[in-house]
Structures are given as structure tokens and as C-alpha cells.
Structure 1
Amino acid sequence: MTALPMTDTVAVIGAGAMGAGIAQVVAQAGHPVLLFDAKEGAAEKGRAGVLAGLDRLVEKGKLTAAERDAVAERLVVAVTLADLKDARLVIEAIVENLDVKRQVFSALEDVVAQDAILATNTSSLSVTAIAAGLKRPERVAGLHFFNPAPVMKLVEIVSGLASSKPVLDTLFDTALAWKKEPVRATSTPGFIVNRVARPFYAEALRLLEEGAADVATIDAVMREAGGFRMGPFELMDLIGHDVNYAVTRSVFDAYFGDPRFRPSLTQQELVAAGWLGRKTGRGFYDYRPDAAKPAPATLEPGTDPDLVVVEGDVGPAEPLVHALKATGVQVTREEGGGHIRIYGATLALTDGRTATSRVRMGEPSDLVLFDLALDYKTASRIAIATPDQGQEGAAAAAAGLFRSLGKAVSVVDDAPGLVVLRTLAMLANEAADAVLQGVASPSDIDRAMTLGVNYPRGPLAWTDDAGLPRILAVLDHLHKTYGDDRYRASRLLRRRVEARRLISTNRDATASET
């Protein structure tokens, strides 16, 4: 272990919500902490806020009065930057402005010891650029906490081009000693979480802009079928549209206008209107006291089926078949192309094509596409879509099947990939490209997304369960439908699918020879 000894002083520059939160984490871990802010009175206010929060924990019995007093003793306000001279680690948590951060680190070089570590909590700026021009850029690295820092476990340890391995290892082990969950990333736009998470918001915004479903329905499907703690619109309202939009713009610009990160005009309008979400009382939802929360669209179901015919392999939807059998419904299996047939409807898991295009290619006219669920056993809502020419009877019949399993149904306009599967495919695509480009390991990406933004599963692990070839097919169908490079599949996904096919072909050839 190369963690900093608890006797070493840690300084935090910036006493806003994030800086004060980091100072609390470090002081509670046992280090002496110096809190500095260039704005007069800000450090004192930040320290007072930390202690007030600890007082509430004492009142709730989650912290003893002695522990609170020990933190108060260790957390000291620094009056000037020169007061940080004895710090062994300095964590900068100030405004996201490259020039300002450079100026602070340049001044710090003349204050702290030559072997002190300088860390930046930046969420979107290049660690390499922040360190550039310093006398010792090798001692600069990213130490990116998530808000609120005392609660969120994830910390991204970010290496700039010059960051030394000993510095990175020390930060990693120190974060562990602080009872955090560190992951390693290279200094690329958005690092792990702020890059990989972009499609979670972007696909929901695109579905809304295309009229596929309303805000409340998309959120409900993502929660109740996808297993996400919050829907994308709820989460954007919580984060604040000014913040979320700024991060998207930052990543988009940093990737030279890559369409995968294209910002939304809808969100831009909310920012322009000052409808920033919860903090202003209005966003996608209205948070004023007398405002009613909209309900998701829910289809009135038809009759429950008494006979179900399963044709071929239904892939990730196989748990639905087991659940139907458990209800006592008669289920028979036949050869076929992955359909679930009931009286009045033919159901199929979406594959990224529209229901209309699939009917035109020869599938039954009563086709109803249904969405992916994280867990079909526990999902309480499923999204479905029918061809554009309308199949109200088929939709009602499908809703009757899902009603028999205790699930509500929301009809989505015939959007390719529906809601959950489309979002998962894009999250997996971004995660795969991050692996391909050496940003982080697959395991660190999955850990970062579950710990940093509370995803129910890491996108790469979820992809393995859903079937890698299926996810690639969804992306290819989305790409063909839209003609938009935003949906181009990562070379890593395609390469892995091709490798698996080659292994399977060789195995079959070997078996036939024997």
C-alpha cells in the first residue's frame, strides 16, 4: 500500500459544495485538512456547512459527538495559499476554467514541497492540459469525486500524459483508505462516467423530440423495465440542465463535434428559459407546490391469453416464457424466428428495426414489438410498439399477456429499438469505445457506471447477458434507419462478435471431422 499516512496534511482548494464535501471525506478519514478559498469568507462558510451536516448525523445517531469534534479539530481554514506549504496532497476543486486552474497550480509549485502531490477534481477538463507548463507535471493527476462527495463511493483516478505511476498508485491507495471505490482512467474528455453516460440522456431526448413518447412515460419505462433508479428526465432535472447541458457541450466540443455526443436543442431551450430543473422549480417537470405530476401512458389491456406458442429462440425474453408457464397458461414450443404468438398478436423482442419495416419484410401484420427489461420477472412495466398502420387490437392483446404477468404496458410510437434496448445498446457502444481507446478497463467502466450514476448493471456486463450479437444488430439497424454516424458501432464490439463467430465455426468444423 502506498496510501498517504494519516498524519500527512491534505489541503483542499475551493470551499463550495464539492470542495467542502471532499474536505469532510478527508477529515473524517483522519487527516489534518486545510480548507482554502480565494473568496473572502467562503472557506469559513464551507467549514461551518460541514460541521452543520455532521451535527445532523449526530442527531440521527450515525455519528458520535466525539467523532464530530475530532473532525472539527482536524478541519482548519487556511487564510492564504502560502498556508498550504506543509500539505503532502493538494486537491483543487474550483471553477471549471482551464486558465484559472493552471494559475492555481503554478502558484502552488512555489508553495508546497517538490514531492507533494497536486490533484484536480475536474470533471471535464484535460488533466494533461492543466499540468502543462508546470515544472513537475508528473506529480499532477485527476482525483474526481462525485457529488455529494461524502455519500458517493466512486472516485476516478485520472492520468494525464505526464502523470507518474507512483503518484497514481498513491492516489488510488489513498482513496481506498478513505473507504472510496477508485477506478483508473486516462485523461480523455469526460473520463469514464461523464462520457459513457451521455447516451442515457441523449436517446431519451431524441425519443421525446421524435414524439415517440412523453417525458413521464419514458421515465417510467426506464425505471420500471430498465431498473434505473431514476428516469433520464428526472435525473436531468435533478442534476440541473445548465450543468448537464454544459457537460454535453464540453464533451461534444472536445471530441471535435462527434455526432455521438451531439447536444439537444430541447435541453438548450430549457437552459435559455431558465427552466433548470428542481433548483428553479421547473424543468421537464413542474416542481411548484400546486403542480400535479404527470402519469405515464398506460394501455388498457385486452383479455389474458389461454394459449401461447413460442416460435424459436426468444433470447433475453426467455424468462417471460417461464413466467407464463408459472401462471398456468398453456405454452407450446415450435420452430421459428423468435416470436411469441397469442390470439390476436404476434410478439417479438425489438432488434433495432421498426415494427413497420419488419412487417414490410414479411413478418405477420399483427406484429407487436416489446422492449428489453433488466429482469422480466421483476419488471412492472413494458414498452411495446406496433406498425404505423395501426394495430390497436394486437396492442391490447399484447397488453393482456403482460397484464397476466403483473406488468403495465406503455405504447411507444414505432421508434427503432424502443426505449430500454436502444439506450443499453448506445451505453454499451460508448463503453466499448472507451475500452478500445484505452480510457479504462471493462471492469472499471462497469464499476464506475454502477457506483457513479447508480446504473442497475454495468453496460458491458448487461450486454453480455443480452447477447453481444443482438446489441451489435441493434446498433447496425439504428445506423441504417437514421443514416446518422451517431449510431456507428464500435470496432471493438464488431471485432468481438466476429471472433466469437470464428470460434464457433472452427468448433463446428472440428466436431464434423470427428
Structure 2
Amino acid sequence: MSALTPQARVAVIGAGAMGAGIAQVAAQAGHPVWLLDNRPGAAAQAITGIDRQLARRVANGKLDTQAHRATMARLQAAESIEQLADSELIIEAIAENLEAKRELFRQLESLCRDSCILASNTSSLSITRIAAGLKRPERLLGLHFFNPAPVMPLVEVVSGLASDRQLAQRLYDTATNWGKKTVHTRSTPGFIVNRVARPFYAESLRLLQEGAGDCATLDALLREAGGFAMGAFELTDLIGHDVNYAVTRSVFEAYYGDMRFQPSLIQQELVDAGHFGRKTGQGFYSYAEGAERPAPVELHSDQPIEHCVVEGGLGAAQGLLQRLRESGVRLIERDGHGLLRIGDAVLAVSDGRLASQRARDQGLSNLILLDLAHDYASAGRLAISCCAGTSPLARDQAVALLQRAGFKVSQLSDSPGLLVLRTVAMLANEAADALLQGVASAADIDLAMRAGVNYPEGPLAWADRLGLPWVLEVLQNLQAAYGEERYRPSLLLRRQVAEGRTLHA
């Protein structure tokens, strides 16, 4: 079954920001589009807003005048649901209320011809539950856009228990023709992105609650070491804490209180206070006029560095050695177990244990652990944590060495897995569980996380690159440190390690 032709009429119900954006996408792809809202004048107002947005793009040289006029000619405000009867695709983008959606689709089913595809833009509700009251539930699917729809490239095509596979493929092909990065997913809580992304927020929130670091420092590490576009606190401020917290609670409750999705008390407090982020002027950061963003905490050292000892390979951190060589540091290499020695300091890449635990296990003094970087050869910042009893001199020597390699250095308190490592390990773990449960293919999970939330690398591919045995070890050490089910490794991850295979195998 091929994609809808450009001549096929598309209807969008709900003229809020999401509905208007979806209508714009369909109209720009060549479809005649009805836009309907139950608020008088809202659809016409939304179309006027689209006109203004496109006019700005014309003024900026990003769109030609003819394309602007053609798009606007295809957009029409509908005054009643009956006007949508000749549509070939109807996309619902109303409030996230199950009964309201079910009632709307019952109306549409009795109004529209049998060939019309019905789609919901829900981000959290079960497509199976929405469709359950229909005479033909197979014609209802999810078509989940991300906000703002004209800008964000990802669309999740969501199949419920009864959804017709051919219709799912038709929606996939149609969204792809609209210029979207499209993925298939089953209707499970959070679909792909809103499920797999939970640890990105959760691990930063947990470290903040434990006093391991401040918001600005943790955000800077996710950006400058992890390669993420934004840190967790600035991103949740942008999304809105009312929205982000509600999604986390929804996923947590849908999975019967699985602690992997436990909401944060810190975020709940922000919501209770009405501090939703940018839209209210206050979240983790202040957005009041003239407010200054706090700077990340950095360490500095003027200790002279001429050489260091490298004992064994550093695994994912080999790029650090190249940076040291290029900076003129002489490397003395000998056999060992992945340690760097500089003066009194011993450096190692974290394996998920507390620095003090690892120092005791391995009989090391002045042990300083390094966090993960997406690319050690180019990262601008790196986190460290120190075992108990580390001398100020040893810490200064370690900082000086990393500064010599071109890193800004931020210290976190002794926390298992620091920040980037535990975040990536947990993202990969959740993605592995989604793959195990048949939510989506490995390729679609990775694509969804790159295109939907702009991750620098798909979490499954990232874990494969780091090495699954190491990722599994990190998770096991996190679970041992906390004694919580939250960090339990996925069965798929354990199985792939046991079989010597990758997650993309």
C-alpha cells in the first residue's frame, strides 16, 4: 500500500500548537487540509498564525513566496465535524483525555467513509484503549509528532493491538513523504522516545537530589562531555515541568510503579510551586529579565605536567591519550589494568563503582575516576570524582593533566558512575528492554532517539561501541551501590553479553 497522494484531503482536529503544526506540515506537503477546533474562531486564528510564521520564513530567505501562498491556499478552517466527511486521513490532536478521544473517534467512525484512516497524536495514551470502542478498531493508529511539528523531524507510527499493518505502513510512507524521519512502534507506555528518554532526566535529577553537583555543572557535563544538545535541567525548563513530570508519572503508573521510571521529588516540588520553567519565568533557572545563568563549577591547577604513566589500555578513553600526546605530555606506557599515574594521583575511567569502593577493592590511594565522554578526542569538559582521603596535591595533579589535554574539569561528589556514564548506561538499558519487548526494531529505536530528542548517538549503537560487557558491568555496579531494582540490567543486555553479540546483531 502506497503513501497517500498529495491530492488526498487531510483533516486535523485540535488547533493548538501541535494541531496547527501538523496541519502546516500536511499542507506544505501538498494536501488540502481542514483544521477544526471546538473553540469558536480557534482554527482560523491558528491558520493566521501559520501565515505569519511562513511570512517570516519568506522574509528570512528560507521559503519562497509561491510556496507560502500555495500552502496557505490549501489550509481551511472547518466550522463543523461534518465538513471532514470526505477526508482520507483525520489526525486528532486534542487534549490528552482518554474519554474525549474515544468519543471523538466514535463520531468520526460513523461520519467518515470506511477508507478514511483515523490517527491520534497522543503522546501517552494507549492506542489499543482509544480504539477499543470502535466497530473497526483496525483503522485507528497513532501518528505521534513532536513539538514543534514543522521543525522536529521524528514521527512515531503507533500500532495498537487491532491496528491494520497495511494502514500502519501507509502512514509510515505518508509521513516519510512529508519529509519526516518515521519509525514504527507498538502501543506501549511512552512508545519509544517518551519511554527510553526517562533516564536522561532521572539521573541528573537524582544526582542533584544527592548533592553531587549543581544544575549548571551537571547540564554543562551532559552538553560538553556527553554531546547532548541540552542538559536535563535546561531541557525540562524548556519542555515545562508540568508536562515532563506528567509524562514521567504516566509512564511510572503505566508500568505498575516500576522504579526505573520513578518521578523526582525535586521536580514535583517545582510543579507544586507553579515553577514550570521558561513559560512561567522560573524553573531550575530563572528567566526573569536580567537574570544571569549560573556558571558551571570548574577546577583549576597550575601544577607542572611533563609526563604520566599509562598502565594498560583505557578502553573508551583512548582519545584522551592522543590529546595528551598532542599537547606534549610524554607518555610512559607499561602493562596494567587501565590506569593513569601522574605524581601522587591515580586516574581511571569509572566502571560504576564509587571511587572509594574501587580504591578499597584495588588497594589504590588517591584514586580519581573519570566520567564518560561521547568522544574523548573532542569533548570540552570532563567530570571527575575522588576517593576518600585523596590529597589536594593529587587532585591538583590530575586536574592539571586533564587541563593539559584541553579539558575543563568539574568535580562531582563520589557518586556511582558519575553523570554521563550512568546516564548513557541507563538509556542503553531502557532501549535494550524496549527492543527485548518488541516495542520497535533496534534501528528504529536509535533513529527515534536521534531524531526525536537529538541525541548524539542512538543508545543501542552507543552501547555497542562502548562494549556491552563494560555497559553491563557499570549497571551491575550501580545496582550494587544503590541496592535498587532501578538499575537492574536488561535481560537482553545480559543475553547478548553471554552470547558475545551486540544489540544490533
Q: Give me the TM-score of the superposition, normalised by structure 2.
A: 0.98
Q: Distance in 2 between matches of 1:326 and 1:390?
A: 28
| Aligned equivalent of 1:288 | 288
| Aligned equivalent of 2:193 | 193
| Aligned equivalent of 1:343 | 343
Q: In the alignment, does 2:439 pair up with 1:460?
A: no
Q: Distance in 2 between matches of 1:327 and 1:408?
A: 15
**Unmatched runs of 5 consecutive residues or more in structure 2:** none
- Structure 1 position 292, deviation (Å): 1.8
- Structure 1 position 176, deviation (Å): 1.0
Q: In the alignment, does 2:148 pair up with 1:133?
A: no
Q: Distance in 2 between matches of 1:303 and 1:420?
A: 27
Counterparts of 1:111-510 in structure 2 under 5 Å?
111-500=111-500
Distance 1:93 1:304, change over 3 A: farther
Q: Distance in 2 between matches of 1:278 and 1:227?
A: 23
| Aligned equivalent of 2:101 | 101
Amino acid across the alignment from 1:346 = V
Q: In the alignment, does 2:28 pair up with 1:5?
A: no
- Structure 1 position 45, deviation (Å): 1.2
Distance 1:269 1:346, change over 3 A: same
Return 389-398 or 437-446, whichever deviates more.
Answer: 389-398
SS in 2 for 1:280: coil
Query: How many residues end up aligned between the 2 structures?
Result: 502
Q: Distance in 2 between matches of 1:413 and 1:351?
A: 16
Return 409-418 or 60-69, whichever deviates more.
Answer: 60-69
Amino acid across the alignment from 2:170 = T
SS in 1 for 2:348: strand
Contact 2:322-2:377 within 8 A present in 1 as well: no
Deviations 1:243-290 (A, max 9, x none): 000000000010010000000000000001011101111000011112
SS in 2 for 1:278: coil
Equivalent pairs: percent with the same residue?
58
Q: Give me the TM-score of the superposition, normalised by structure 1.
A: 0.96
Q: Distance in 2 between matches of 1:435 and 1:391?
A: 45
Moved over 3 A (4+): none
Deviations 1:385-404 (A, max 9, x none): 00133432222111101111
Deviations 1:36-79 (A, max 9, x none): 01111111111111111111111112112221111111100111
Contact 1:304-1:404 within 8 A present in 2 as well: no
Amino acid across the alignment from 1:483 = G
Q: Distance in 2 between matches of 1:240 and 1:465?
A: 33
Q: Distance in 2 between matches of 1:287 and 1:43?
A: 31
- Give RMSD over aligned pairs: 1.2
Deviations 1:149-172 (A, max 9, x none): 001110001100000111101000
Amino acid across the alignment from 2:190 = G
SS in 2 for 1:222: helix
SS in 2 for 1:110: helix
Q: Distance in 1 between matches of 2:112 and 2:369?
A: 62
- Structure 1 position 358, deviation (Å): 1.0
Deviations 1:448-472 (A, max 9, x none): 0010001111111111111111110
- Structure 1 position 141, deviation (Å): 0.5
Q: Distance in 1 between matches of 2:185 and 2:105?
A: 21
SS in 1 for 2:426: helix
Return 392-401 or 485-494, whichever deviates more.
Answer: 392-401
Distance 1:501 1:433, change over 3 A: closer
SS in 1 for 2:383: strand
Contact 2:159-2:187 within 8 A present in 1 as well: yes
SS in 2 for 1:158: strand
SS in 1 for 2:395: helix
Amino acid across the alignment from 1:255 = Y
Contact 1:353-1:474 within 8 A present in 2 as well: yes
Contact 2:345-2:397 within 8 A present in 1 as well: yes
Q: Distance in 1 between matches of 2:429 and 2:36?
A: 41
Amino acid across the alignment from 1:84 = L
- Structure 1 position 304, deviation (Å): 4.1
Deviations 1:287-331 (A, max 9, x none): 111222101110112424212111112110111112212222211
Q: Distance in 1 between matches of 2:111 and 2:361?
A: 71
Return 179-188 or 392-401, whichever deviates more.
Answer: 392-401
Contact 1:369-1:384 within 8 A present in 2 as well: yes
Deviations 1:451-495 (A, max 9, x none): 000111111111111111111001000101101100000000000
Q: Distance in 2 between matches of 1:391 and 1:216?
A: 26
SS in 1 for 2:352: coil
Amino acid across the alignment from 1:281 = G
- Structure 1 position 363, deviation (Å): 3.3
Amino acid across the alignment from 1:72 = M
**Unmatched runs of 5 consecutive residues or more in structure 1:** 503-514
| Aligned equivalent of 1:510 | none
Q: Distance in 2 between matches of 1:173 and 1:290?
A: 47
